[in-house]
């Protein structure tokens, strides 16, 4: 039995997996509001009860060093050794959340992925993973000649690079709002969509109807309203905001693809992409993705795929936990489940 976790700044998502004929089999999962608990160990105890597991892996936001990480949005310090001892689980691993997503890619079925652009599917090589959600995550899937090995990155915190007059003025607006440097995460993330919307309202002077202002004020997450109104074509300012967001998303995906030379393809993960899949299909994302001057054809030839499965990071964490525990113990639950 494998415990997988996706630890975020606001919630902790846990799931149990087993193996049937070499494939991960989902058993159950639960989400916990992180602020209601003193730490990850308390949440895991609540989730597991008397259930025993062979190994556990948690995808966490940020760089993990020597099995240890201090979260930026929670007053928690996570340590794999302390978690192992405290929970009585022999093998506990902490890896970057996008690294976990990367391991999850290999576990996905065909119906859990939408192909945005076929590209040249015969190409073999590195792959890129970019995921906008609460923040902007990026990871590298390096081809070693046999398989793709995920490596974490903090590329989402790279400097934001505007490409036209709207984006130049957006950068100026954000520099004033945040009093300094602006990363891509300030534009391509949940907060990014709201930032763009505010820019259009306050700098470009686009109309915010009273009914829309009331609707946004009444909810905890304005992005849901902006997205809903944009996709339904009920608000010009919402449509423009989503258009700018998706274009910036495509541009940064293209930047990552160039840096990694990801001829094996680009995967779009995170919670936002599946919700705006119809917008991603309209060409705005791919136009920005491939707009790379003399190297545009290189990008055109790269397959682009959207991850539809919301539990991709959990699948990856479970796969990683089993593989690393098997290396250390010499016993593989996945291999043992294969029928001969």
DSSP string covering 260-279, please? HT-TT-EEEETTHHHHTHHH
Looking at the chain, how many residues does it have? 340
* pTM of the shown model: 0.93
CA 302, 272, 154 angle in degrees (round to 5)? 65
Q: Rounded to a whole number, what is the distance in angstroms from the first to the last CA of the chain?
A: 21
pLDDT at 8: 83
pLDDT-above-90 percentage for the chain: 90
pLDDT tops 90 at residue 221: no
Poorest-pLDDT segment among 73-77, 119-123, 314-318: 73-77
Tell me the pLDDT tens digit for each residue of 224-266. 999 999 999 999 999 999 999 999 999 999 999 999 999 999 9
Question: Encoding tokens for residue 249?
Answer: 């998303």
- For range 162-178, the mean pLDDT: 98
pLDDT at 331: 87
Per DSSP (E only), the strands in the chain are: 2-7, 11-20, 23-33, 55-60, 68-70, 77-79, 91-96, 113-117, 127-132, 136-143, 148-153, 266-269, 304-307
Tell me the pLDDT tens digit for each residue of 70-99. 987 788 999 999 999 999 999 999 999 999
Q: Domain 110-308: which topology?
A: Hexokinase; domain 1 (3.40.367)
- For range 30-46, the mean pLDDT: 94
pLDDT tops 90 at residue 103: yes
pLDDT at 287: 98
Q: Domain 2-104+311-337: which topology?
A: Nucleotidyltransferase; domain 5 (3.30.420)
The kind and range of the H/E element at 42 are helix 40-48
CA 138, 44, 68 angle in degrees (round to 5)? 50
pLDDT at 134: 85
d(CA 201, CA 186): 17
pLDDT tops 80 at residue 36: yes
- For range 277-288, the mean pLDDT: 97
Q: Where are the domains of the chain?
A: 2-104+311-337, 110-308
pLDDT-above-70 percentage for the chain: 100
pLDDT at 139: 96
| DSSP 8-state assignment for residue 160 | P
CA-nearest of 128, 134, 340, 149 to 252 is 128
Task: Please count the helices (runs of H) and the strands (runs of E) in the chain.
Answer: 14, 13
**In Å, what is the CA distance from 48 to each residue of 25, 95, 220?**
17, 21, 30
Question: Encoding tokens for residue 292?
Answer: 């790379």
pLDDT at 62: 85
Question: pLDDT tier at 166 (50, 70, 90 boundaries)?
Answer: very high
Question: Is 88:48 a contact under the CB 8 Å cutoff?
Answer: no
The kind and range of the H/E element at 171 are helix 165-178
């Amino acid at each position: 039995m494998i415990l997988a976790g996706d630890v975020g700044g606001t919630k902790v998502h846990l799931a149990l997996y087993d193996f049937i004929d070499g494939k991960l089999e989902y058993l159950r999962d639960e989400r916990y509001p992180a602020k209601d608990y003193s730490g990850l160990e308390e949440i895991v105890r609540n989730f597991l009860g008397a259930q025993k597991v062979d190994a556990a892996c948690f995808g966490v936001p940020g760089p993990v060093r020597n099995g240890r990480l201090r979260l930026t949005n929670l007053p928690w310090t996570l340590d794999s050794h302390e978690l192992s001892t405290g929970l009585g689980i022999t093998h506990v691993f902490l890896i970057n959340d996008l690294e976990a997503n990367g391991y999850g890619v290999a576990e996905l079925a065909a119906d859990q992925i939408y192909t945005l652009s076929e590209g040249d599917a015969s190409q073999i090589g590195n792959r890129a993973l970019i995921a906008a959600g609460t923040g902007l995550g990026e990871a590298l899937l390096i081809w070693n000649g046999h398989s793709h090995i995920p490596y974490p990155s903090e590329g989402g915190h790279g400097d934001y690079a505007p490409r036209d007059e709207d984006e130049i003025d957006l950068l100026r607006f954000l520099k004033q709002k945040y009093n300094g440097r602006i990363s891509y995460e300030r534009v391509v993330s949940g907060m990014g969509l709201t930032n763009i919307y505010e820019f259009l309202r306050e700098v470009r002077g686009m109309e915010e109807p009273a009914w829309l202002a009331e609707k946004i004020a009444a909810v905890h997450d304005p992005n849901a309203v902006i997205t809903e109104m944009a996709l339904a074509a009920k608000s010009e300012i919402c449509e423009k905001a989503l258009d700018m967001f998706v274009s910036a998303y495509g541009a940064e995906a293209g930047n990552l693809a160039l840096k990694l030379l990801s001829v094996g393809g680009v995967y779009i993960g995170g919670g936002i992409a599946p919700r705006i899949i119809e917008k991603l299909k309209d060409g705005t994302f791919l136009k920005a993705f491939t707009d790379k001057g003399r190297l545009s054809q290189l990008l055109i030839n790269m397959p682009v795929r959207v991850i539809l499965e919301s539990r991709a990071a959990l699948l990856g964490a479970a796969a990683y936990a089993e593989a690393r525990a098997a290396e250390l113990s010499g016993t593989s639950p996945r291999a043992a489940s294969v029928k001969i």
